[in-house]
A and B are shown apart, each in its own frame.
Chain A
Amino acid sequence: DAKTTQPNSMESNEEEPVHLPCNHSTISGTDYIHWYRQLPSQGPEYVIHGLTSNVNNRMASLAIAEDRKSSTLILHRATLRDAAVYYCILSSNFGNEKLTFGTGTRLTIIP
């Protein structure tokens, strides 16, 4: 499985943008990039995914480097409810494959 590398923790002020980085230098051409987040004492929830192009949805944006060896999850205006552990995960394009969750980035929002 291709590996991802994320900082252990980050802090951001409330109502400011947050950029969460992820390195995946061994990504293959068919790997999707997924982001999930886990709020305290809950199961993870899907945030966003992408393959080659940048993606936007109601929760966040995903910026993917041109060489696909890194990506950045962007929360445009962080709120206290965004405090969570964020996981960057790669999966092949073959469908119901297992996902490998690392330790993720613990995001703290400062009021």
Chain B
Amino acid sequence: DGGITQSPKYLFRKEGQNVTLSCEQNLNHDAMYWYRQDPGQGLRLIYYSQIVNDFQKGDIAEGYSVSREKKESFPLTVTSAQKNPTAFYLCASSINHNGGKGSYNEQFFGPGTRLTVL
């Protein structure tokens, strides 16, 4: 089955520790994304990557880092510089469709990782 996997589902860390969240996709998608969601809020974009070995900051990149060494993988590191890291983290990948009047982006999401920093 093709899809996006995120692990672990729940993660607990002590304050001041870096933590890396895993995101893997076997959909052969070029673009991948990381979002953060706080309770009752929408999704906010942290980082995105449109191609291997390249990535761009999203709206809330401070305190986070990413790498994109392989097409299938886009790990997110939450560093100790992130002031309020407790949140639900969602990874997505996207495929570009040719709609006849231009292209559009359909994103596929993983199940998410709920990070709690104690």
A interface residues (Cβ-Cβ under 8 A, vs B)? 30, 32, 34, 36, 41-46, 49, 51, 87, 91-104
Partner of B110, one of A43, A99, A102: A43
Q: Is the CB of A43 within 8 A of B111?
A: yes
Q: Is the CB of B104 within 8 A of A32?
A: yes
B side interface size, CB within 8 A = 30
Q: Is the CB of A91 within 8 A of B41?
A: no
CB of A54, distance to nearest CB on chain B (Å): 15
The answer, yes or no, to whether B106 is at the interface (CB within 8 Å) is yes
B interface residues (Cβ-Cβ under 8 A, vs A)? 30-31, 33, 35, 40-45, 48, 50, 58, 90, 92, 94, 96, 99, 101-112
Residue of B nearest to A101 (CB): B43
**A95-B96, A96-B30, A96-B94 are contacts. A45–B106 as well, Cβ < 8 Å?**
no
